[in-house]
Chains A and B, each alone.
Chain A
Amino acid sequence: MNINKSENIFVLGVILAITGLLAALLMAYFAKITAGPIAEAVYASANRSLVAVMPPFKSKRSIDFNNIKFTGVFNEENKLTGIAGEFSAKGYGGDVKTLVGMNVDGSIRTVLILENNETPGLGSNVCVRKEQKTLKTLFAGEKKSDGLAPNRILDYYSGKSVTSSAEWKVAKDGGDCPYITGATVSSRAVCKAVYHIVSVYSANRDAVKAELFKKEVR
C-alpha cells in the first residue's frame, strides 16, 4: 500500500490525528518547562511600574475610587507606606494612562505613563522615560543608572502636592505645569490626570485608606 496516495478517509484521519498528537506532546513539553519563567515574567511586568514609583514593599491592595485605581503598598509590619493612583486622561491620540506614586501625606513621589498613543517623537516625548544611549556612553562603558530615566515634564511633578483649590494647568493655559511646544495636548492630558489623582486622594485621604484596609491583601 502506498501511503502517499492513500484516499481512504480513515487512513487520512488517523494520520492527521497522529500528527496532532505528536505536535501536542511537543508543545506540552515546552509549555511545562516555560511555565515557571512565563509566570515570573508576567508577575514582574505587572509589578514593574509599581516598584518604580513606590518605596520597597511587601504586599499591596487595590481599590477603585472615583474611577481611579488606588493601590496601597505595605511594609513588613503591614503599615501603609505609599499610595499609587492610576487614571486615564484624553490625550492627542487616545488615552494617556498615568500612574502617580504618592507618599501617604499626598505628596507626589514619581509620575509614570503606563500607556500612550501620542504622536511618536512629539507627544510621546511628554510620556516616555527612556535612557538615551549614545556612542559616547557605549564606549565609556557607563553603567545603566538605577531607576527611571529622567523626563523633564514628568519629573516636574515630583515632590508637589495639592496646597490650594486652584486646578493645575500647563503654563500655556496660565498655570505652572511645563509643556512641550507642539505637544500641548499631551502635556495637558498628563497635567490633568496627575491633578485628578492627587486632588481626589488629598480630599478623601481617610476614606481611601479605610477602603484599602478593608480589602484582601494580595
Chain B
Amino acid sequence: MSHHTISVRGLGFVYPDGTRALEGVSFEVGHGEAIAVVGANGAGKSTLLLHLNGLLSPSEGSIDIGGVPVTKGTLPEIRRTVGMVFQDPDDQLFMPTVAEDVGFGPMNLGLPPEGVEARVAEALARVEAAHLRERPPYHLSGGEKRAVAIATVLAMEPNILVMDEPSSGLDPKARRRVIGLLASFAHTRILATHDLDLAAELCERTIVMSGGRVAADGPTAEIFADDVLLEAGGLERPLGMQGCPVCRTK
C-alpha cells in the first residue's frame, strides 16, 4: 500500500464552543497528486488541514493516510508521513537558529547527530537556503522564512505535504520562487490557498469548500471556468483566467 494516499470519509467537526466547522467532507487523494483546497474565509479549509495529521480529531467520520487510520496510537507514524507547513512561518520557526530549527524534527525522530546534520544540509539545499543556516529566524525576510519553514518539514522526509497559504505575504519574486519549489516536489501535495493563480499553476485538481462542506471537487481548469460555482463559494476566476484589465479583451 502506498503511503502517499489520503482518504477522508464523512468528516465532521464541531469546535468545543459549538461552532460546526466541517460537515460530511469526503474525498480521496492519490499518490503524487497536487490538490488545491479553496474557499472563502471561514469555509473550513484550515480546520480540514489540521485533521490531516491529527492535530484535531474528527467529531464524525474518519481519515486514512496511506491506509493507516488517524488515531491516537498512529499519530507518530502519521506525523512522519504528513508534513505540515503553517501559514505564519513565525509559528513554525521557534528554534534559535535556522539549522537547529530544521534539525528539530529529525532530532525528535531519534536520528544520530550525523544523520540529523545530513538531513539539515539536504533540506536547506533543496530550498536554496544553505547560506542561512546559522542565522536566527527573526532576522530573515518573509520569503526566506517561508523557504526555511518548508525545509523544516522536508527534513522529516514526509510523503505528503500539507500547506496553509504557501504564498501569503510574499512579494512577487518570493512567491514565484515558492511556486517553482512546490512544482519541483514529487510529494502528494495539499495546498489551502486564496491565491487561485497559484492553485491553477500547481494543482491539476481543486476542492472548493463552502460552509464546512465540499461544494465541488474536480479538475482545476473546469472549476475555475465555472463562474456560478465560484461566485457561490465566495471566489472569482484567477487573474490569469480573467480578461486583460487594459484592453478589456478575454
Query: Is B truly associated with A?
Result: no
Residues of B whose CB lies within 8 Å of any CB of A are none
Chain A residues with CB under 8 Å of chain B are: none
